[in-house]
Chain A
Amino acid sequence: MNQRGKISSQTPQLQLHSPAPYHSLVFSISKSHSQTRPLRFSQPPLTLSGSQTLPAAVALPRLSPSPRLASTLGFTLNPRVASPPAPFSWPSMAASDAPNGDVLIRNAFGSVLAFLILLLIGVLAFSIRLFSVIKYESVIHEFDPYFNYRVTQFLTKNGIYDFWNWFDDRTWYPLGRVIGGTVYPGLTLTAGTLYWFLHSLNIPLSVETVCVFTAPIFSAFASWATFLLTKEVKGVGAGLTAAALLAMVPSYISRSVAGSYDNEAVAIFALIFTFYLYIKTLNTGSLFYATLNSLSYFYMVCSWGGYTFIINLIPMHVLLCIVTGRYSSRLYIAYAPLVVLGTLLAALVPVVGFNAVMTSEHFASFLVFIIIHVVALVYYIKGILSPKMFKVALALVVSIGLAVCCAMVAVIIALVASSPTKGWSGRSLSLLDPTYASKYIPIIASVSEHQPPTWPSYFMDINVLAFLIPAGIIACFSPLSDASLFAVLYIVLSVYFSGVMVRLMLVLAPAACILSGIALSQAFDVFTRSIKFQLPSLSDHSHIDARDASSENIVPDDTIKTDKSEDTPKERMTKRSKKKEKEPVEKPPTKFQIKKRLSVLPFEASIIAVILLVLLVAFYVVHCVWAAAEAYSAPSIVLTSHSNDGLHVFDDFREAYAWLSHNTDVDDKVASWWDYGYQTTAMANRTVIVDNNTWNNTHIATVGTAMSSPEKAAWEIFHSLDVKYVLVVFGGLVGYPSDDINKFLWMVRIGGGVFPHIKEPDYLRDGQYRIDSMATPTMLNCLMYKLSYYRFVETDGKAFDRVRRTEIGKKYFKLTHFEEVFTTHHWMVRIYKLKPPKNRIRGKNKKSKSKTSSTTTSKRKGTRRNPF
């Protein structure tokens, strides 16, 4: 908006030059803009009563200009490049008094175009995620979403207060779970609000429908947030590119297809939006955005445990800015309110509570908080004292400040060191030390999404972005600003995290999109500029065109809308423009022009490069659509296979859950491996022993022990837990690989971790896990084997297991303590009922007791150790 004055002052001049060359106009704008940089932040585009006092203070300590830093880094910067992304302005109707109407129309056209593109990107983000609904059905996917769905159902039925107080007795029997205090409520509350809103308009969508479509809606929001963030970093062109890339990045699609109703679905939006507001505050120094930022951070804390990424990344960025001499009041405004307000707000979320100040994940932010205050103090004193006095004061303050800091750090370190896990949660620790989980916490290591990713998964999940990221990083450095520094830091950290856990690929995806967007748009910029410059038809106006071309990448900055600055009074505009005119704006940028001319590439090379880039992007699009359609849209509770006679549907899970829900008593307890806990409670509405919220390792180990024990011992464990039905998943008949037999070693490991009489080597023959005739007797007699393969031999006469591709070891056996009550059509889920305890005959009882005492006593000890 500060260019608007420029427009009116420059246009007459332009009319003399040429028939209204739009680009040259814009060029002059950019030029002026680059010159006025130090003042840029002194004019917050958004009028905010609270922030009005800031600008004067902000303008002062611009002591460390970035060129200095850049030169130390070995970059030579021309003045134009040194300009940070343009502040955003509406080329608005307010300026309609400007003489050049044509330009205004073009500007308006540009912003409308950008708006439409954004709208289409939103539609794209939403609709690319509907493959699962179209190919399968509108249904909740996988495991965790079922829990979220169930919580949402509870919320919409019983209201918010009951939700906070909800003690769920249908899971973790007999312990139960305090859902209200242990769940991140952001997603649930979002969907609940959506539901209430729709129902207040009498739109009778079911809770399920709302839940299914929450993720795609928030993907659209996330791509818009990406646009905003990237625009702050590198301008509108990069913003649009990054938004388009994010709209269809497979990594994010994998977590946000319709039906994937998981925390990440809204959390990624919250993450990007928080970063956007941070950068926005950093660029404007507006307290308004700082407040919004902490609210957005609060929403992120509500949504996902991954908020610790924000509260570590932002302090790191702040620290980096301070260290590289980029401290400014804007940085202070961006950071200090976030820590204070954000921490207060975060502590409001029950699941976080005092963790917001107690755990090590948050200490970095407090440390940096102290540091930034020390630095602020130093700058303040520097401002009020004469340079000589300052030197004295500096020595004093720095030494005292350092002493205080050291003392605090020492205290903190002492506190942290006193706790066994050093104050870090298991998952965070395994991020810092990737081998930690596999060494100490098998329950975290057993989850597939906590494994380190393989190289193909990078290619699968971010595809060509992996190659564009380096280019993006370079582009970020070429005019290094606070914002682009943030982008670089973001990508570096998220690459590391994604390398530790495949799940955190999700955090990498937005960073990859932002940097690739920057890279792509800059590359297109260079190439199209070169082409335009050399186009024969335009060669007559070569001089102007050169200026055109060189300024082209700034064009969108001005064309794009952002803030509703239309309402800003014209008086201010003129005042500002007056101010601007005082600046040495009108310096002829001759040197700069020459440089630009040099950066023009050969015509043919540019054309080829553009074509190649388009091909690259096309490949990305094709890959994304393929990934969305084929790889990530399966709901995993319904499986399909294509055979010669068409599509075959395996709907066994729901068959079993429906059977349980209709044909067992409502208070019956169902035991299964924890993977199926959420689904059982949500779909079958039966009480489970363990579920996917793996908060009690001992309880899970108890179930694992039961599954790996012989029948009688298992029956005793289950009976002591009041279990009536045991559910196992078996893929041997149809070749469904992620069944319980394949997960069985984890059961043994987790069980053995708590109850030492379960030893992993007993289940392995020469270190190999096998279920054929070479398997160990312990393996062949454990409950999981028996329940999986009971009467399996009668299906084909050979008992050939299609997952393990072998005939099973023990084919004919009877169950003595369990009874098959239901097996689904493809045998994928088998449900057994515990037989009632037999009447004991005295003499026999004694005998059998003495016989089994050796085996059961150890077992008994084991069971006694757990709390019930």
Chain B
Amino acid sequence: MPMEEQPHFRVPLSLLLFLSLFLLPTSFSSTHDLQILNAERRIDLTSHIIKVYLTLKVENLGTSPASEVHLAFSPAEAEHLAIVKAAATSGKRKKKTYIPLDVKSAELPDGPNGTKFFTVTLLTSLNKGETATLEVLYILTHSLEPFPVEITQSESQLVYFRDSAILLSPYHVKEQTTFIKTPSTRVESFTVVDPAKRAGTELKYGPYEDQPPYSYSPVLVHFENNNPFAVVEELEREIEISHWGNVQVTERYRLVHAGARHKGAFSRVEYQTRPDATGVSSFKHLLAKLPPKVHSVYYRDEIGNVSTSNLRTDYRKSELEFQPRYPLFGGWKSTFVIGYGLPLQDFLFESPDGRRYLNFTFGCPLTQTVVDKLILKVVLPEGSKDPTAVIPFQVDQHLEIKYSYLDVIGRTVVVLEKSNVVPEHNVPFQVYYTFNPIFMLAEPLMLSIAIFLFFVASVSYLHADLSIRK
């Protein structure tokens, strides 16, 4: 995750930053003392969101205890990195437990060619000779390059995936294997770095032994991927809190098919009569997972309702299945708005210190989509004060003022912005604020006073004698 530290970011992270600065010198010393005994990488290429599961077995060879492990990413990867998660595992097989670890970006002086680093902070520092097992998940977006760049309606979509057969690591790696899973058995070509073999939908690179730090061996896999490359270029979610009992969510999407561009004619007759053979990389359905008890759902765009949608609700979740106005082929775009209301009591709580907080899910409700830029606006009721947002990862944030129904002083809007959002970012976040319930009565009072004054004015006008001539 490309992380730049934002100066205005709040307490927990700045504390961590301070901590990491404090810890950095010790980590430098321990860089070369660590060794990776075994690295196993599983790259999942079945959709356009690439998930890489990395299992590292780390051993401390040095004398001083090491508390941090560095992960290295090539600049190309770092650019498309959406999220990095790490967990320490303990126990064997069935009793395996995962304890999430802190991950943050780091700078190492000796990284070659702009290599980006992330630091995983271990729970307990490793003493000499000890080993630890780390599970790392990182997600890459926009890393499948369509080739050919343009396809016709009847062709299927082929993409390139570039990576290294050997794990890029600041440590010496004793043994490693990489598995690449492709969506279908159709693989046009792949770079052979012995030993490498292909079986069904799986490519196996390795095992390779005793690779020195920063080894790199580029590979190129050219394979078929007809999964929908649904990318939301920009998503603006507006969450408006009304203390009268409703949370109104409005989501404005700008969707694009980011796969191989469509070339030439679009023939509806072929698309309709031979759905299996034509337009295989296009998509026409999307699925949004909404919170339970959702009500008044609408789905429209700037020229009116889009009539093709389906809402399924049960007590645990709601699913909105909908179609854009037209099937999306490579490069085609569409915009739409989804809006819904939610009961307030499910999302708004009172914290022990008397403040209120909204507990909502970050990210994009669409499944299997990448959001290039997510703007999340939490519109607090008029009269709210001291908003603070608590989010488990780093986002840009600032405040705005919005004027809505009969507002006088305007509503405070907490704006959270994040680029490159994947479904793994759908985690709860909180916005704390203080609110005096008397403000709820402001607008009804205003209205009643206005109407009262109107009647008073009418009555006085009817009784007043304004004529000049008596």
Contacts and interface: CB of A to CB of B under 8 A. Distances in A.
A168 interface: no
A820 B305 contact: no
Interface in B297-351: 300-301, 303-308, 325-326, 331-335
A821 to B, nearest CB: 6
A636 B335 CA distance: 23
A204 B379 CA distance: 14
Interface in A555-573: 564, 566-569, 571-572
A649 interface: yes
Interface in B434-470: 461-470
Interface size class of A (residues with CB under 8 A): 35 or more
A658 B325 contact: yes
Contact of A794 (B265, B273, B467): B273
A49 B300 CA distance: 56
Given A658-B325, A658-B334, A662-B332, A567 B467 contact: yes
Given A47-B467, A566-B462, A658-B326, A663 B264 contact: no
A568 B467 contact: yes
A621 interface: no
B265 A201 contact: no
Interface string B257-276: 00000001111110011000
A649 B307 contact: yes
Interface string A33-72: 0000000000000010100100000000000000000000
A822 interface: yes
Contact of A819 (B264, B407, B461, B469): B264
Nearest to A49: B468
Contacts of B470: 569, 571-572
Nearest to A137: B305
Nearest to A140: B304
A655 interface: yes
A202 B325 contact: no
B390 to A, nearest CB: 29
Max chain A C-beta neighbours (<10 A), residue from B304, B333, B335, B469 = B304
A663 B332 contact: yes
A204 B405 contact: yes
Interface string B268-286: 1100110000000000000
Give the dominant DSSP class at A's interface: mixed
A654 B325 contact: yes
B264 A822 contact: no
Contact of A203 (B300, B406, B463): B406
Interface in A679-716: 683
B469 A52 contact: yes
Max chain A C-beta neighbours (<10 A), residue from B266, B464, B469 = B266
B28 interface: no
B266 A823 contact: yes
B266 to A, nearest CB: 5
Contacts of A569: 465, 467, 470
A96 to B, nearest CB: 12
B393 interface: no
Contact of A820 (B267, B325, B332, B461): B267
B189 interface: no
Given A567-B461, A662-B332, A662-B333, A137 B265 contact: no
B325 A139 contact: no
Nearest to B273: A794
B266 A564 contact: no
Nearest to A92: B462
Interface in B96-139: none
A137 B303 CA distance: 11
Contact of A795 (B269, B304, B333): B269
A651 interface: yes
Contacts of A821: 265-266
B265 A662 contact: no
Contacts of B301: 658
Given A662-B332, A821-B266, A137 B467 contact: no
A825 B272 CA distance: 9
Contacts of A651: 306-308, 325
B303 A791 contact: no
A202 B467 contact: no
A201 B406 contact: yes
Contacts of A298: none
Contact of B469 (A47, A564, A824): A47
B404 A204 contact: yes
A402 to B, nearest CB: 42
A571 B470 CA distance: 7
A769 to B, nearest CB: 26
B269 to A, nearest CB: 5
A268 to B, nearest CB: 26
B267 to A, nearest CB: 6
B463 A567 contact: yes
B333 A663 contact: yes
Contacts of A823: 266-269
Contacts of B269: 791, 794-795, 823
A569 B469 CA distance: 9
A748 to B, nearest CB: 27
Contacts of A663: 331-333
Contact of A202 (B272, B334, B405): B405
Contact of B266 (A566, A638, A649, A822): A822
B326 A655 contact: yes
A791 B267 contact: yes
Contacts of A683: 303
A657 interface: yes
Contacts of A819: 264-265
Interface in B47-92: none
A683 B268 CA distance: 22
Contacts of A638: 304, 307
A646 to B, nearest CB: 12
A825 B269 CA distance: 10
A568 B470 CA distance: 9
A115 interface: no
Given A567-B464, A657-B303, 5 more contacts: A202-B407, A569-B465, A663-B331, A791-B269, A819-B264
Q: Shortest 4 CB-CB distances between A and B: which pairs?
A: A823-B268, A139-B304, A202-B403, A662-B333
Interface of A: 47, 49, 52, 137, 139, 201-204, 564, 566-569, 571-572, 637-638, 649, 651, 654-655, 657-659, 662-663, 683, 791, 794-795, 819-825, 827
29 contacts: A49-B468, A137-B304, A139-B305, A201-B406, A202-B405, A204-B405, A564-B461, A566-B462, A567-B461, A567-B463, A567-B465, A569-B467, A651-B308, A654-B304, A658-B301, A658-B326, A658-B334, A659-B332, A662-B335, A683-B303, A791-B269, A794-B273, A795-B272, A819-B264, A819-B265, A820-B265, A820-B266, A821-B266, A822-B268
